[in-house]
């Protein structure tokens, strides 16, 4: 009970929340009245001792932002808040646009959190359960329906950037007052947003990348703070798969400090039917919170995103390497925006006569290989009876030699047999002293 007499333990509001868990108890105006209540109720004393012990550990401080799936606070009777969990009271979805910009919250705990579900709060609960001797503080600045543009510095109300800058210093100051420990930055950040940005999806990845970098420039965020980005629902009546590609693309832009969480793996039963499955149920948020917390704390999660590449399991089944999104019909794409040529190369530096560099296409037992060796150069090799070129209104085959001297020719050789003296047909064009001529020669 040492914490009751310290100024850095619990405010009257938090005590009221704690005591509100016990029927017929309230916070009295005087310490003597409070002491009398505690003496009569061992359960209350035990509860306060738990909080006292929790507050002596090094705080875990988590930042959460996004739109409705980050902001929602729904009823969920099974949830009991761990004694070492505190949640910032800012609730943007219940505020007008103007109020969402200016409102500053405070921390709540105990009964104020019981019986409710919120993705960020439940991430904090997972953290609190895993770290019972450390206080966990969740600062969630989110608002339903907010596009990513609302985090722009000069956005109209609700200006979520302004709201964030107003709430973070207040939250860190209250953490210091509660724990007696100075906290200067967040341990991790969690982002769930994008459902409202379908019409701006071509610029979303760049916008999310820029926002995370702007967060990172703040002293309370830090250069090493990891960012966990949640995927969107696969069950809504509007296809959100393009937004998941965009979020993964933003993660791939800084894969060493960002991670994607595939909420699409969670079954439809965990999503809320009344919202047409765009939001989750309380049980769903609990499971989604575990995915997010495990991605940060335990390195568990979706491995289909890396530095400048991503895999799209839910829509195209394709891979893209470079800053692009997987397109339907392509298994592998290589994307590089540059003024010069973009080259995909298979390079074998060996000069051995058996050395080869190959690209192969195969269907069942049929295959064709583009290969190069150090003696004869490049060729197409097919296991079938022919190699066919298919085009619509365009030349099927073009053989070009770019030099313009009189020793240059562009020749197509058709040969039967493996030796140079075998039967051959040569179709070619040449430049001799500036006068072009064509030739068709059959060697038998």
Same domain, 299 and 431: no
pLDDT of residue 351: 86
Higher-pLDDT residue of 266 and 38 is: 266
The DSSP secondary structure of 199-244, one letter per residue, reads GGHHHHHHHHHHHHHHHHTSTTT-TT--EEEE---SSSSS--HHHH
> Does the structure show a pLDDT above 80 at 26?
no
- Which pLDDT band holds residue 432 (cuts at 50, 70, 90)? low
Rounded-to-integer distance, Cα 94 and Cα 345, Å: 55
Cβ–Cβ under 8 Å, residues 418 and 408: no
- Which pLDDT band holds residue 17 (cuts at 50, 70, 90)? very low
| pTM for the model | 0.79
Higher-pLDDT residue of 123 and 21 is: 123
> Does the structure show a pLDDT above 90 at 10?
no
For the ranges 42-56, 114-128, 310-324, 384-398, the lowest mean pLDDT is seen at 42-56
Cβ neighbors of 274 (< 8 A, separation 6 or more) are: none
Same domain, 303 and 405: no
Higher-pLDDT residue of 396 and 191 is: 191
- Which pLDDT band holds residue 406 (cuts at 50, 70, 90)? low
Task: Report long-range pairs for 324-328 (Cβ below 8 Å, ≥24 apart).
Answer: 324/249, 325/205, 325/242, 325/245, 325/246, 325/249, 326/245
Domain's final residue, options 244, 277, 307: 307
> Does the structure show a pLDDT above 80 at 14?
no
Residue 370 belongs to some domain of the structure: no
For the ranges 101-115, 255-269, 418-432, the lowest mean pLDDT is seen at 418-432
Higher-pLDDT residue of 400 and 14 is: 400
Nearest CA-CA partner of 75 in 121, 122, 110, 117: 117
Tell me the three-class secondary structure of 170-182, residue by residue: HHHHHHHHHHCCC
pLDDT of residue 21: 44
Domain's final residue, options 253, 282, 307: 307
Rounded-to-integer distance, Cα 233 and Cα 264, Å: 6
* Peptide bond preceding 373 in cis form (omega within 30 of 0): no
The residues pairing with 227 across neighbouring beta strands, listed in sequence order, are 189, 258
For the ranges 1-15, 124-138, 306-320, 399-413, the lowest mean pLDDT is seen at 1-15
Residue 385 belongs to some domain of the structure: no
> Does the structure show a pLDDT above 60 at 83?
yes
For 229-243, write each residue's pLDDT tens digit: 999 999 999 999 999
Residue 185 belongs to some domain of the structure: yes
Nearest CA-CA partner of 300 in 270, 267, 261: 261
Residue 33 belongs to some domain of the structure: no
pLDDT of residue 361: 87
Domain span at residue 418? 401-444
Same domain, 159 and 266: yes
Cα radius of gyration (the chain):
32
Same domain, 292 and 412: no
Residue 29 belongs to some domain of the structure: no
Residue 396 belongs to some domain of the structure: no
Structure tokens given for 348: 């074998």
pLDDT of residue 434: 47
> Does the structure show a pLDDT above 50 at 294?
yes
pLDDT of residue 383: 77
Same domain, 107 and 255: yes
Same domain, 406 and 300: no
Structure tokens given for 131: 């770290």
Phi-psi region of 248 (alpha: psi -120 to 50; beta: other; left: phi over 0): alpha
pLDDT of residue 2: 30
Residue 394 belongs to some domain of the structure: no
> Does the structure show a pLDDT above 70 at 52?
no
Residue 245 belongs to some domain of the structure: yes
Determine what percent of the chain is predicted with pLDDT higher than 90: 61
Higher-pLDDT residue of 201 and 287 is: 287
Domain count of the chain? 2
pLDDT of residue 34: 59
- Which pLDDT band holds residue 443 (cuts at 50, 70, 90)? low
pLDDT of residue 420: 61
The helix/strand/coil state of 344 is coil
> Does the structure show a pLDDT above 90 at 301?
no
Tell me the three-class secondary structure of 24-69, residue by residue: CCCCCCCHHHHHHHHHHCHHHHHHHHHHHHHCCCCCEEEEEEECHH
pLDDT of residue 38: 62
The helix/strand/coil state of 252 is helix
pLDDT of residue 12: 44
Higher-pLDDT residue of 55 and 353 is: 353
- Span between the terminal Cα atoms of the chain, in Å: 106
Nearest CA-CA partner of 106 in 65, 139, 75: 139
Domain's final residue, options 256, 291, 307: 307
Q: Rounded mean pLDDT of 385-408?
A: 69
pLDDT of residue 110: 94
For 28-50, write each residue's pLDDT tens digit: 344 555 566 666 666 666 666 66
């Amino acid at each position: 009970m040492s914490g009751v007499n310290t100024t850095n333990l619990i405010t009257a509001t938090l005590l009221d929340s704690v005591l509100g868990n016990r029927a017929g108890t309230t916070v009295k105006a005087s310490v003597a009245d409070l002491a009398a209540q505690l003496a009569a109720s061992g359960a209350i004393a035990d509860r306060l001792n738990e909080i006292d012990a929790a507050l002596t550990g090094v705080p875990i401080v988590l930042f959460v932002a996004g739109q409705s799936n980050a902001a929602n606070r729904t009823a969920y009777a099974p949830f009991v808040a761990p004694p070492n969990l505190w949640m910032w009271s800012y609730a943007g979805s219940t505020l007008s646009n103007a109020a969402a910009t200016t409102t500053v919250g405070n921390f709540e705990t105990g009964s104020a959190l019981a019986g409710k579900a919120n993705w960020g709060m439940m991430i904090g609960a997972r953290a609190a359960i895993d770290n019972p001797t450390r206080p966990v503080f969740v600062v969630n600045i989110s608002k339903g329906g907010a596009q990513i543009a609302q985090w722009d510095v000069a956005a109209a109300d609700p200006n979520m950037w302004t709201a964030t800058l107003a709430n973070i210093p207040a939250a860190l100051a209250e953490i210091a007052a509660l724990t007696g420990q100075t906290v200067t930055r967040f341990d991790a950040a969690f982002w769930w947003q994008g459902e409202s940005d379908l019409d701006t999806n071509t610029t979303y990845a760049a916008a999310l990348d820029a926002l995370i970098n702007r967060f990172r420039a703040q002293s309370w965020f830090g250069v090493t703070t990891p960012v966990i980005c949640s995927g969107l629902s696969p069950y809504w009546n509007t296809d959100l798969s393009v937004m998941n590609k965009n979020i993964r693309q933003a993660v791939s832009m800084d894969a060493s400090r960002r991670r994607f969480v595939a909420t699409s793996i969670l079954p439809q039963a965990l999503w809320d039917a009344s919202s047409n499955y765009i939001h989750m149920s309380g049980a769903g948020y609990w499971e989604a919170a575990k995915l997010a917390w495990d991605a940060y704390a335990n390195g568990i999660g979706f491995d289909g995103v890396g530095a400048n590449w991503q895999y799209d399991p839910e829509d195209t089944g394709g891979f893209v390497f470079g800053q692009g999104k997987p397109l339907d019909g392509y298994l592998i794409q290589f994307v590089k925006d540059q003024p010069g040529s973009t080259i995909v190369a298979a390079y074998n530096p060996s000069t051995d006569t058996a050395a080869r560099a190959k690209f192969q296409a195969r269907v069942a037992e049929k295959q064709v290989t583009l290969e190069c060796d150090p003696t004869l150069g490049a060729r197409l090799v097919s296991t079938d009876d022919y190699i066919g070129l298919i085009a619509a209104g365009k030349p099927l085959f073009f053989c070009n030699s770019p030099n313009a001297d009189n020793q240059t020719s562009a020749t197509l050789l058709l040969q039967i047999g493996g030796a140079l003296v075998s039967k051959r047909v040569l179709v070619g064009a040449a430049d001799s002293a500036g006068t072009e001529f064509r030739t068709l020669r059959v060697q038998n």
